[in-house]
Structure 1
Amino acid sequence: MAMRGTAKTRGDVIVIGGGAQGMLTARACAIAGRKVVLVERDRVAGGASRAGGGIMSPLAPWDVPPAVDALAGVSLPMLPELATALERDTGIDPEYRPSGAIYLEPAQLEMALAFAARRDMRAEVLEADALARLVPAARRGVERALLLPDIAQIRNPRFLDALARDLRLRGVAILEGAGEVSLEHGNDGVNVSAGPHGMLRAPDTVVAAGAWSGRLLAPLEVRLPLRPVRGQILWYRVQRGMLRHILMRGEHYVIPRHDEVVLVGSTVEDVGFDLGTTAAASETLRSAAAAMVPLLGSLPVQGQWSGLRPGSPDGIPWIGPVEGMPGLWVNTGHFRNGVNLGPGSAALLAALLTGAAPPLDPAPYRPPGRDGADLPSPL
């Protein structure tokens, strides 16, 4: 590819993407002593990361690939300390709260209980009367539910805003409004075309651009079988304290914040890069909400939004160096688990990049090489 001007060296590491993965990666590299530049096509702290519900666990943690379970085992314990540090250093409370999750009529109860025992997690089977006492607003007629009281939540917008402020306090250069960022072969690595910020280069470049990561890598002949998966969420306003636990039923959830806000999500839609919201999704989510909390069926929806999540073929993210492309790294493909797997993913990427001991075996997360050989089938 033809060069469009001389690349300007900026720092030790360029991170592309201002969502959870990009900012957490930038933070981890900065803590490791690297001078970091973060490039974002629009504004940092947005995108699918901001749109998510903030459940700090895979939705059904007992039914995920072993590699996702292993990464969660590293990442989830990091979140309380991270949230505390962000609030202390930035003054923004990410609202990390161990609210617990209740699964209504779980289809894999025995598997879930076995998982909780392996992980030394608290778990309690709730019969109908116990559920009614604990969650009076829950739908009657649920014969059995599973309470996992250790599952936490975080308020994504506040978490991301705190991360952005933390990066600035750490001296990370944040280049927003870069538009359609692109990657090009340089004389000794990868150059980053960052719109009004010019052509940039650094010894290491990390692609952490969520659903757009595959598009970025394609011109370099790196075929990442990544697809955008739209998720839509509704929010309601209820009386404070009406709900205290996350409720889940099938693929849907109800998340009560500590104030009057309740989120209901989410859809899983293969619509390309369409970020629009739809009446059909609203109806689906309203029905799911009423099936868990009947009162929500009679309340007006206060708002609806969507995000594009980066889906990988098997739900396992890609984290690590791109073979055959020295200095090029990837941290993407987390689907619905971007925030909860984010700290562990960033720790793994930063360890590999700096030569430190990785917090877990990196092999299951190895990105495809430049030639694209041995790729799994796309979703």
Structure 2
Amino acid sequence: MSQTPSFDVVIIGAGVVGAACAYYARAAGLSVAVVDRGPVAGGTTGAGEGNLLVSDKEAGPELDLALLSTRLWRELADVLPAETEYEAKGGLVVAPDEATLKALRAFADGQRAAGVEAVEVGSAALRELEPHLAPGPAGGFLYPQDAQVQPAQAAARLLAASGAEVHLGEEVTQVLRSGGAVRGVRTRARTLLAPAVVNAAGTWAGEVAALAGTTLPVLPRRGFVLVTEPLPRVVRHKVYAADYVANVASDSAALQSSAVVEGTPAGPVLIGATRERVGFARGLSTEALRRLATQAAALFPVLADVRVLRTYHGFRPYLPDHLPAIGPDPRVPGLFHACGHEGAGIGLAPATGALLAAALTGARPPLSPRSFRPERFEEAAREEAAAEGSGGAESRSVPRRNP
């Protein structure tokens, strides 16, 4: 009789975050199985642009996570195959007027205090960095630490390098529990036993949490990307308008768009980014695509007559305070979360994996995990209910971006 395979940890999700968790857990000496209902990078990761950004993050816990990931991605670039397409191209944030430039200065001052390299660039110098940029911006900021990977390849190569046992095309139908604690997972094809299960299911992480008997308020936030025909390198950096930073941090459910334009080693130019909360609606939004094309051409007029070969879209895993959930869930012993990164999951994946590995092994974490505690939303809801019940004038909501 064959025995049910047993591991130290089972990871649900074969996107880039799940792959990073597998990589660092294996590096810590743990036996790991990864299971996903689809292919590697079949969800949010495969629909991303591959951003590895510090430029769009204000000083606080998410920026700390991004800076750690920046260092780890550089280390990974030395060991992963060239197909990962790691490119330290740098980011360029463009301000259309003096008022916006002044706001960017204050934003950059806070980032520098946290360890970010941010270099103010005058109007003339912008054109030296990006010769095809439209005239008129008041200035901007160059972020040399910003980089890029090919997201699906990054996930696939990272997962392969981990050496984890991988089961694709198998949906987890049950999170096994005994005495309230996690004991593994079950798919229609097999049972995988483990004293630890990691929820790295991206936009569907709320469903996995429910399978384990708990809650996590993950919502889908849809985004579109345009892909042009192959071109010479007309865009040298990742270039975006300053309002992109505000859109990333926004709580609005309505359609928001701001030009994010970048060339790729293969030639096509990628044009993003939109955000809207429409559930899991997969329909094509002509308004979103129109806005992207118009804003990109305004930033780079050379793109106005370039053919768009295709578009794609996906769902970013949105949590109310814009911070991911990383670490053990005290409500369900043995359950860990690594999800809710919204549009920053590719960039934040290595640091997330390193934090998870530390939590799984009891090692000292590379940075404080407190702001990423999965149970923080339930705590906030209890506090709000208590405040309302006592008749207090001051009520509380979910924690904000920098608790």
Structures share fold, TM-score greater than 0.5: yes
Q: Are residue 374 (structure 1) and residue 364 (structure 2) matched?
A: no
Secondary structure in structure 1 of the residue aligned to 2:80: helix
Listed as ranges, the matches of 1:330-369 within 5 Å are 330-368=337-375
One-letter code of the match for 1:212? W
Structure 1 position 268 matched with structure 2 position 263: no
CA offset at residue 146 of structure 1? 1.7
2:218 to 206, 226, 237: 226
**Equivalent of 1:127 in 108, 122, 125:** 122
Q: TM-score, normalization: structure 1?
A: 0.89
Q: Identify which of 278, 297, 300 aligns with 1:293.
A: 300
Report the residue type matching 2:169 in the other structure. Answer: G
| Residue 276 (structure 1) shift | 3.6
Task: Work out whether residues 35 and 172 of structure 2, in 8 Å CA contact, stay in contact via their aligned partners in 1.
Answer: no
Give the Cα separation in 2 of the matches to 1:70 and 1:164: 24
User: Displacement of 1:248 after TM fit?
Assistant: 0.5
- What is the deviation of 1:151? 1.7
Equivalent residue, structure 1, for 2:143? 148
Q: How far is the alpha carbon of 1:235 from its aligned partner?
A: 0.8
Displacement after TM superposition at 1:177 (Å) = 0.7
Shift of 1:180: 5.5
- Structure 1 stretches lacking a partner, 5+ long: 1-6
2:85 to 95, 98, 111: 95
- Which of 314, 327, 334 lines up with 1:327 in the alignment? 334
What amino acid is the match of 2:35? V
Say whether residues 1:241 and 2:233 are aligned partners. Answer: yes
Pair 1:202-2:209 in alignment? no
**Secondary structure in 2 aligned to 1:299?**
coil
Question: C-alpha root-mean-square deviation of aligned residues, in Å?
Answer: 2.3
Change (3 A) 1:324 1:116: closer
Instruction: Report which stretch shifted further, 196-205 or 359-368.
Output: 196-205
Distance 1:200 1:239, change over 3 A: closer
Give, in angstroms, the shift of residue 162 of structure 1.
1.2
Tell me the secondary structure at the aligned position of residue 63 of structure 2. Answer: helix
Matched, 1:24 2:30: no
Distance 2:335 2:363 in 1: 17
Distance 2:398 2:118 in 1: 36
Structure 2 unmatched runs, 5+? 245-258, 382-396
Cα separation, 1, equivalents of 2:183 and 2:204: 17
Find the residue that maps to 1:42 and give its secondary structure.
coil
Aligned positions, number: 363
Which has the higher mean CA deviation after the structures are superposed, 114-123 or 288-297?
A: 114-123
Tell me whether 1:14 sits opposite 2:10 in the alignment: yes
User: Are residue 137 (structure 1) and residue 153 (structure 2) matched?
Assistant: no
Q: What is the aligned partner in structure 1 of residue 112 from structure 2?
A: 117
Task: Among all aligned residue pairs of Structure 1 and Structure 2, give the percentage whose two residues are the same amino acid.
Answer: 31
Assess if the C-alpha contact under 8 Å between 2:16 and 2:151 holds in 1. Answer: no
Deviation at 1:132, TM superposition (A): 2.1
- Quick one: structure 1 residues 115 and 153, their matched pair in 2 at CA, closer, same or farther if it must change by over 3 Å? farther
Alignment of 1:42-81 (within 5 A): 42-58=38-54, 60-61=56-57, 63=58, 66-81=60-75
Identify the match of residue 280 of structure 1 among 266, 284, 287: 287
Letter in 2 for 1:75: S
Report the Cα distance in structure 2 between the residues aligned to 1:217 and 1:301, rounded to whole angstroms: 39
* Distance of 2:198 and 2:378 partners within structure 1: 18
TM-score, normalised by the number of residues in structure 2: 0.84
Specify the alignment match of 1:83 in structure 2.
Answer: 77
User: 1:354 Cα shift?
Assistant: 0.5
**What is the CA–CA distance in structure 2 between the aligned matches of 1:148 and 1:133, rounded to whole Å?**
15
Shift of 1:48: 1.0
- Pair 1:286–1:70, CA change in 2 (3 A): same
